[in-house]
Amino acid sequence: MKAGKLKESVLKRSILKQLHKRREEAMALPAVGGDYGAMSISEDVAVVLSSDPITLTKNAVGSSAIMAACNDVACSGAKPMGVSVTMLLPTSYNEEELRDLMKDLDVACEKCNVDIINGHTEVTRAVKEPLVVVTAMGTVLKKDMIHSSGVRPGMDIVATKWVGLEGTAILAKEKDEDLRNRYAQPFIDKAKNFQQLMSIIPEAAVAAKSGASAMHDVSEGGIFGALWELAESAGVGLEIDLKKIPIRQETIEICEFFDLNPYKILSGGCLLIATEDGNGLVMEMEKADIPAVIIGKATDSNDRVLINEDERRFLETTQTDELYNI
């Protein structure tokens, strides 16, 4: 199999079809586009969990894993509270590197306001680079829980901040020397700092209070992959205006330099939201100093369409992230 996310067809037939619900407390089970799982723990409260590994970068693997898992939990309307961290380290790793990794994890935990409450650390010949897997957890009132399948025809689709932030930061950090052949160092450093924009917890909280019907963290596969998953989880169509998708100039230029599609690269830091009142949500985001824009609508068709002026083309199922190409 190719590196990256499983093909949707393989995911459905070889993973999802093998799973069966056994407990009545289960409220959210694995699904295409599902960011998290949930279990009822009382009459009114559910616990929400999500696990994420980081495999597309050697830099800031700890903070990236914390952000990814906490972002997924926040998409349910829950408040992330704690994380469990599993670290598999290569035999070449040393104690100083381990301390640096732990500092990276701790800084990310402070940013997300969560604690590391459990973990496992092991040195193994099975990996060549450190592999960090984070499981985040939080709680939410059942009545306030948001499901990714909550998109309905006619709803506005809103995107926060910009797409491609995480992929751009990774490229700037790991391909600094290559980029210096064309760009000034301040330009590259600005792109590296996109790593500081990875958390979507603030905008998820605003969206939850503003009546969002569904949320989906834009991650591996970029905005095109996330749009497909959002629509697939709810069985709806989409009409998305390509020119309205927010993207930074740094992302456009760096992706062009490496001949990558900026709409198909890792996009942590961007949140997709489905809501009945997109304009109202954008105004609430503005009050919180969070950039947001309506990029399209959900439809009652099975077609997921990208519109670029007079051109209309169809979204495809989730593809391998562009970062794997380099």
- Angle among Cα 250, 253, 257 to the nearest 5 degrees reads 135
What stretch of H or E contains 230? helix 222-234
Q: Tokens at residue 95, please?
A: 């104690």
How far is the C-alpha of 103 from the C-alpha of 106, rounded, in Å? 5
Q: Residue written as tokens 């509270």?
A: 81
Yes or no: say if 149 and 30 are a contact pair by the CB < 8 Å rule: no
- Looking at residue 5, what is its pLDDT? 73
pLDDT tens per residue, the chain (326 residues)?
777 677 767 776 777 778 787 888 877 776 666 778 888 899 999 999 999 887 767 667 878 899 999 999 999 999 999 999 999 999 999 999 999 999 999 999 999 999 999 999 999 999 998 999 999 999 999 999 998 889 999 999 999 999 999 999 999 999 999 999 999 999 999 999 999 999 999 999 999 999 999 999 998 899 999 999 999 989 999 999 999 999 999 999 999 999 999 999 999 999 999 999 999 999 999 999 999 999 999 999 889 999 998 899 999 887 788 888 88
How far is the C-alpha of 169 from the C-alpha of 56, rounded, in Å? 12
Write out pLDDT tens, residues 266-324: 999 999 999 999 999 999 999 999 999 999 999 998 899 999 988 999 998 877 888 88
Q: Tokens at residue 47, please?
A: 């616990």
Yes or no: say if 273 and 211 are a contact pair by the CB < 8 Å rule: no
Q: Please state whether 78 falls in left (phi above 0), alpha (psi between -120 and 50) or beta.
A: beta
**Sign of the Cα pseudo-torsion (157, 221, 98, 136, in order):** positive
CATH architecture of 8-144: 2-Layer Sandwich (3.30)
Class of domain 148-325: alpha beta
Write out pLDDT tens, residues 34-51: 778 888 899 999 999 999
Q: Tokens at residue 249, please?
A: 């100039």
Extract the runs of DSSP E, i.e. beta strands, from the chain: 26-28, 37-40, 45-54, 79-89, 115-123, 131-141, 156-160, 214-218, 237-241, 270-275, 292-299, 304-308, 311-314
Q: What is the DSSP string of 73-95?
A: HHTTT-EEEEEEEEEEE-TT--H
Domain parsing of the chain, residue ranges: 8-144, 148-325
